Amino acid sequence: MSEIMEWFTVVLLPYDSESRRRQRKWIQHAFNDKDAIITHEPIRRRETYKLLLSLMQEPEDFVTHVKRFVAAILTEITYGYTITSLDDPWFVLMDKAVQGTGEGGSAAAVLVDFFPIMKHIPSWMPGAGFKRHALAVKEDIRKATHMTYYSVKDALAAGTARPSFAAALIEDAQRNGTLARDELDIMAASSTIYAAGMDTTRVVLITFILAMVLHPEVLRKAQAEVDLVVGADRLPEPDDREKLPYIECLIKETLRWCTPIPLGIPHCLTEDDNYEGYAIPKGSTVLTNIWAMTHDEETYPDAFAFRPERFIGVDSKTADSTDPRAAIFGFGRR
């Protein structure tokens, strides 16, 4: 399906792809490097203040506020552009591409992933709705990736570009004389950050709000810990995290209780494998049932209950084996 849409992001490219290696390296450097994370902190802090103010003024529109909050952080980090509302043309275009990609996951779309020959079916034929949809999304993706990329490139040429992931890659490629080779990869890597982060982060935050509404006793415990450690004069900062063990357990339980991607991202085996007596040949597509893993009663007793306390006071070995983040954040190569 991604081939028809022509969205060749790091998530969808084969492991042995040169483009994938380039994109993965860029993204890892931008988000796994401690200095880079510190650089992003002012953006997160500013947008957090905006989110809290919006929630205080219009609490009934919390879904809209959360969506704008996530989009604003992602677009500023990636492109140096700040989204002020969901009517912003950047958001409208990018969100249309992302949502269209997600809506392509119908039964027919899944079939074409398992039977690639179906991509050759003419779009006008009955039963080829998946292809008509993919071709429409392909145009949305082209518009979104080109608009965002060339906006940054033009701003660099004019000397008005703000620091961003895309700007840094374009400048580096220009210095090295590799822009002609890297241009499409820069577009794809940049769009990956938005596509991978938008709905997943939004779902986690909305899930957290739902859990707090359903379990006010958990909210009271969390608030008491924040008040004790942080006080009432400021918001929590990353340096406070180690002093907030209940908040850490609350984060884990939110991710476990309602995982944002229940079946994960499909992976393709690069070599023959054998799992508990099942022979899985090279080239097989594997789906990981993250929902089942995070609701396994042997690992998480009373799994459908929301109980952050389940992570309190466990030994380091148990903590590692029950940490839902090990599954939530995927099974690709680290």
Binning pLDDT at 50, 70 and 90, where does residue 5 land?
A: low
Task: Evaluate the CA torsion angle 48, 49, 54, 59 in order and state its sign.
Answer: positive
- Tens-place pLDDT, residues 100-149: 776 665 444 467 666 677 777 777 777 777 777 777 778 888 888 999 99
Q: Return d(Cα 256, Cα 115) in angstroms, integer.
A: 33
The CATH T-level fold of domain 1-214 is: Cytochrome p450 (1.10.630)
**Please, how many CA atoms are within 13 Å of residue 157, restricted to the half-sphere of its CB?**
6
Q: Return d(Cα 22, Cα 169) in angstroms, integer.
A: 11
Reference 215, options 296, 309, 292; nearest CA is 309
Contact 71, 91 (CB under 8 A): yes
The stretch 228-253 carries a mean pLDDT of 94
Contact 127, 107 (CB under 8 A): no
Residue type, 51: L
φ/ψ of residue 184, rounded to 5:
-65, -35
Q: Return d(Cα 158, Cα 67) in angstroms, integer.
A: 31
Domain with CATH 1.10.630.10 in the chain: 1-214
- Tens-place pLDDT, residues 177-230: 999 989 999 998 998 898 888 989 999 999 999 999 999 999 999 999 999 999
Q: Which of 31-35, 95-99, 294-298, 318-322 has the highest mean pLDDT?
A: 294-298
Q: Could you identify the residue written with the tokens 């820069």?
A: 186
